[in-house]
Each structure stands twice: as C-alpha cells, then as structure tokens.
Amino acid sequence: MTAIERDVVIIGAGPSGLTAANELTKAGLTVAVLEARDRVGGRTWTDHFDGHMIEIGGQWVSPDQDALLDTLAELGLETYSRYREGENVYIDKDGEKRLFTGDIFPVKPETEAELIRLIDELDVIVAEIDAEKPWAHPRAEEYDSITFKHWLEEATADQEARDNISLYIGAAMITKPDHAFSFLQALLMAASAGSFTHLVDADFILDKRVVGGMQGVSIALAERLGDDVHLGQPVRTLRWSEDGVVAITASGLEVHAKRAILAVPPVLFSRISYEPPLPRHQHQLHQHLSMGFVIKVHAVYETPFWREAGLSGTAFSPYELSHEAYDNTNHDDPFGTLVGFVSDRNADGVFELSAEERKARILESLSHYYGEQAKNPVFYYESDWGSEEWTRGAYAASFDMGGLSRYGADQRTPVGPISFSCSDFAGAGYQHVDGAIRVGRETAAAIAAELKG
C-alpha cells in the first residue's frame, strides 16, 4: 500500500478531470489524478488499426465551443475541416434516395414547410432556456413532464416532419428514443448548442476535427501533470469528512487530500463506496441519470469514392439503420473513411446479431446512401461503448422523465469535500468535450478560491 498527500485528488482522467487538475496546478495547488483505465481520455479515444487512425469516441468541434478551442490553441493542437463539398443524401420513408444541399431535407413541400415551422418554433422556445439552468424556466416542470415524442405529436400531424425533428435530438444527440426523455431535456440539448437551428446544421455542429485525434487533448493535458496522473487505478472507496478525503484504489494506492473531484460519468458514481454514504438526495439524484447508447461505425476504403460521384459524404435518414453518416477521412490520408451511427433501439437490435451479420447489415445501410462500393471497406470498426466498464454507453448521461427539473439544480452541488465534474453536467457544451472542459475549469476555480482563500 502506498499513501500520498495532495491538496486535491481527481478521480477520472477524461477531459474534465484533466482540465480541473491543470487549472488547480496553475493555481499553485498539488494534485493526483487517479484513472481506472490504462490510458487517459475517457470517452475520447484515438487508436490505430492496420495503419488507420480511428476516432473511437468524441472527435468533432463546433465553432461556438470556445473552451475546447482555447484548450486546443493552448496545447498547440491544430484542427481541420470535415470534408463537405458536394451533395448530401437523404432517404425518405419509402426508401427513395434524394440528393440535396443546405440544411433542409428534400421532402415534399408540405413537409418542408412543417420542418421549417417546427425549427422556428423550437428556436423561439430554446432562446428562453438558459442552458446553465434549464430547471429555472417558468415552465420547466411542465416541459419535463412530457416526452419529446408527445411534444412533436402535438406540434404537427406530419409524420415525416416529426421523424426528422426527432432524429436531430433523439438518435443523433441524446441517443435515446424520443419517448424516453423529456421536452425539457431536448430543449437543454438545443440550448447547449446555441439554438435548434445549430443542431440542424451539420456544418456547424460537426465542423472541425483535431489533427492527430481528439484524445490528443487529454494526452497533452496529462503530460503537463507528469507523474501526478496514475493509470490503472480505479477508485473503489472514498472516505470523506468535513476535514478532507481519502481515495483508495483497487490496488491499495491511497491519496489523502483536502478535496476530491469526481470526474467520471455519473452512471459510475455508484461504483465507488462512500464512507460515510453520500446523502439521500445524491443517492436519489444519481439514480435518475442514465447513458444513451449509440454505435459509431468506421468503414475505411482505398479512396473516398463517394467524392467522385459528387457526394459530400453527409447522409441522413430516420428510416435507415445508420440514421446519419459522414465523410470522416483523416487529415492528409489517401484512404477514404465513412463514419455511420446506429442509435438506441437499432443498436440493441444489431447487437443481437453475430458480428458478421451486424457488419453486413450496417454496411448494407451505408450502401443505400453511397452505393454498392460501400459494402467493401478495407477496414471496418465498431465502437462499443456499452461494453466499456468505465463508460457503459454513449455519448453521455441524461435525466429520465422529470429528473432534470427535479434534480438538475443540485447535480453539481458539492457534498462536503467532494465535487462533481463531467460533460454530462455541463450547460454550454452539454455532453461534449467542450462542456467537460468548462465544468472542469469551473470546478477547479471554485476549489482554488476556497483553498487559496
């Protein structure tokens, strides 16, 4: 058993925990970061297979994500634009493939008018929501008591318009079916990106990528901390009192500190034994959060063949197994890469199949967008975050019905010396790396202000 003493112990070396740790050291405090895995980065993970770089987790940066953009600049990491020249593909509910440019899918004129009306209506409501405190909206409880599906059904009788609006928030963002989260939760997701219009605009939301991969952010932040980052050290026990904490890992490493930051996905809070137990309110609150679920699929080809056909690679359909797909070709890479997403119930369904059949079904879906060539990648990879012990889903955690208005205001309230920091508790940048960094900074600033007086 080894025991060390620090001002602050940070549990979790994802972007939130590592940002907090760096900010605390800048404030002159000592830290130890305890990470369960043998790598840093958490839900950002850049790996290489057969010479192909694959972004297994978070990768895109949007222009409003100042905290992430500042961090990239500070770390000297460069970005590049997602390839987007050419026509996008939409597949309608009858399976008909249509090409389009701009944001609005090529649907029949009545449906297009409904889509535009719904986007405008949502923008107006979203503008009233403060992403930092959606529970403070005068109608928060009411909005949190109806599902997003219900709101859409009341808002329009046009099924294809509903399916498309649902896709932007449900399958594509919260990664839960639209009957499984509230209208308030949907509004938070849009408010965190600035507006509903931003979510609809793939060129905004999925604007840039990081040269070398998004995990590079965490790797560079961890390098600055040197030996203060301890890998392969899952924290099993957190002893706490008003005087401080002791974090004890599976292998017996003990960190004695004045404060602890729990920078793990909220669904993993209960993997740690607290001595004494956390208060009843946190026991309850934490049970109302659950992870969404999506499979991110990479298919690598000899060349980005779809570009020759004038396609941008951007493709959507609420009726396809892979509801959205993009050109994900790496910076300066002669190979072409497509990335597709299979969300919530579709993801459950394909995991019932053998690996071979699942691959065939997913590539079949991609071929509906890009043609037969999509069925023959030289490399294929499915990220399965649901099986990752230290994550358990993707992209992030959201509240169940009624949970956001009931518990949201307390999600980041410290318990004695324990603070909570993760992208799942962000306002701006909610569920994104940007949000993880923002919350990490804010958590560190509050602790530094207390400890440094």
CA distance 291 to 269: 13
CA distance 346 to 105: 22
The answer to the question of residue 390 lying near ligand FDA (CB under 6 A) is yes
> 249 - beta bridge partners?
235
Instruction: Find the shortest distance in angstroms from Cβ 194 to ligand FDA.
Output: 14
The answer to the question of residue 235 lying near ligand FDA (CB under 6 A) is yes
Cβ–Cβ < 8 Å for 398, 391: no
The answer to the question of residue 336 lying near ligand FDA (CB under 6 A) is no
The answer to the question of residue 411 lying near ligand FDA (CB under 6 A) is no
> 147 - beta bridge partners?
182
CA distance 298 to 328: 8
CA distance 307 to 336: 9
Instruction: Find the shortest distance in angstroms from Cβ 211 to ligand FDA.
Output: 15
The answer to the question of residue 293 lying near ligand FDA (CB under 6 A) is no
CA distance 200 to 208: 16
Q: Is 450 labeled as ligand-binding?
A: no
Instruction: Find the shortest distance in angstroms from Cβ 42 to ligand FDA.
Output: 2
CA distance 89 to 311: 8
The answer to the question of residue 314 lying near ligand FDA (CB under 6 A) is no
User: Of 151 and 240, which CB lies nearer to ligand FDA in the complex structure?
Assistant: 240
User: Of 75 and 146, which CB lies nearer to ligand FDA in the complex structure?
Assistant: 75
Q: Is 235 labeled as ligand-binding?
A: yes
3-state secondary structure of 107: coil
Strand-pair category, 235-241 with 244-249: antiparallel
CA distance 62 to 407: 29
Cβ–Cβ < 8 Å for 323, 172: yes
Q: Is 273 labeled as ligand-binding?
A: no
The answer to the question of residue 271 lying near ligand FDA (CB under 6 A) is yes
The answer to the question of residue 291 lying near ligand FDA (CB under 6 A) is no
x/- contact string, 44-83, with ligand FDA (CB under 6 A)?
x------------xxxx-----------------------
Q: Is 181 labeled as ligand-binding?
A: no
The answer to the question of residue 383 lying near ligand FDA (CB under 6 A) is yes
The answer to the question of residue 10 lying near ligand FDA (CB under 6 A) is no
Long-range contacts of 23-28 (CB under 8 A, 24+ apart): 23/440, 23/441, 23/444, 23/445, 23/448, 24/444, 24/447, 24/448, 25/224, 25/225, 25/228, 27/444, 27/448, 27/452, 28/452
Report how many residues bind ligand FDA under the rule CB under 6 A: 41
Q: Is 275 labeled as ligand-binding?
A: no
Stretch that binds ligand FDA, among 101-109, 355-363, 369-377, 392-400 (CB under 6 A): 392-400
Stretch that binds ligand FDA, among 137-145, 165-173, 331-339, 393-401 (CB under 6 A): 393-401
> 350 - beta bridge partners?
none
Cβ–Cβ < 8 Å for 228, 34: no
The annotation places the binding site for FAD at 16, 35-36, 235
The annotation places the binding site for substrate at 341
Residues that bind ligand FDA (CB under 6 A): 11-17, 34-37, 42-44, 57-60, 234-235, 263-265, 268, 271-272, 296, 383, 385, 390-391, 394-396, 422-423, 431-434, 436
